């Protein structure tokens, strides 16, 4: 075999020395460069993994925060709607109360007016009866020509007016 190397123009010792140098260079490079480069790459890989995990956590937290925000907005909207509904109901109740109060006051005013009218009517009737009685006494004095007892005359007129009142009420 060494002849083949020589015929090819290769020196075996040189090849072995170069192979040993190459292996020695690989070992030195492996210890001095490859391991530190691998450690550095692993550290970078770990940092990248941590960053990715942290980014994923941040994304999840952001999503939870967004969900919480949406829930809070929904609650706030529901509260708003409840307050609006309550305000509308309160307004409606106030409106009804005011309408009832106005109706009650109107009925009160009408009742008072009816009472005043009835009182005025009774007063007018009393005054009219009194005037009629006075006129009847004056007329009867002129017709008879003498003085009749005014007290008896008033009693007679009162009875007559009472009978007229009864007759008048029976018509209705």
pLDDT for position 169? 59
Q: Tell me which H or E stretch contains 31.
A: none
Q: Tell me which H or E stretch contains 63.
A: helix 35-144
Cα 4 to the center of its chain, rounded Å: 103
Neighbours of 157 (CB within 10 A): 19
pLDDT for position 38? 87
pLDDT in tens, 111-143: 999 999 999 988 988 888 788 777 777 777 666
Asked whether the whole model's pTM tops 0.85, one would answer: no
Neighbours of 133 (CB within 10 A): 19
Range of 110's domain?
A: 2-171
For the chain, 172 residues long, give each residue's pLDDT as a single digit of tens. 667 767 777 777 888 899 999 999 999 888 888 888 888 999 999 999 999 999 999 999 999 999 999 999 999 999 999 999 999 999 999 999 999 999 999 999 999 999 999 999 889 888 887 887 777 777 776 666 555 566 776 777 777 777 776 666 555 4
Number of H helices, E strands in the chain: 4, 0
Q: Give the pair of three-digit tokens for residue 164.
A: 């007229």
pLDDT for position 83? 95
Structural domain count of the chain: 1
Integer Rg of the chain from CA = 63
DSSP conformation class of 17? H
């Amino acid at each position: 075999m060494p002849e083949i190397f020589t015929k090819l123009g290769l020196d075996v010792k040189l090849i072995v020395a170069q192979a040993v140098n190459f292996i020695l260079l690989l070992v030195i490079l492996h210890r001095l460069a490859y391991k530190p480069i691998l450690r550095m790459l692993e550290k970078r890989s770990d940092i990248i993994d941590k960053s990715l995990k942290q980014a994923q956590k941040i994304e999840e937290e952001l999503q939870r925060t967004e969900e919480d925000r949406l829930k809070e907005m929904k609650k706030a909207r529901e509260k708003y709607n409840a307050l609006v509904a309550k305000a509308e109901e309160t307004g409606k109740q106030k409106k009804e109360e005011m309408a009832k109060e106005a109706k009650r006051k109107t009925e009160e005013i009408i009742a008072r007016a009816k009472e005043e009218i009835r009182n005025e009517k009774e007063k007018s009737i009393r005054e009219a009866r009194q005037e009629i009685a006075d006129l009847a006494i004056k007329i009867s004095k002129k017709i008879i020509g003498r003085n009749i007892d005014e007290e008896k005359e008033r009693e007679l007129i009162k009875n007559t007016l009472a009978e007229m009142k009864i007759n008048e009420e029976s018509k209705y």
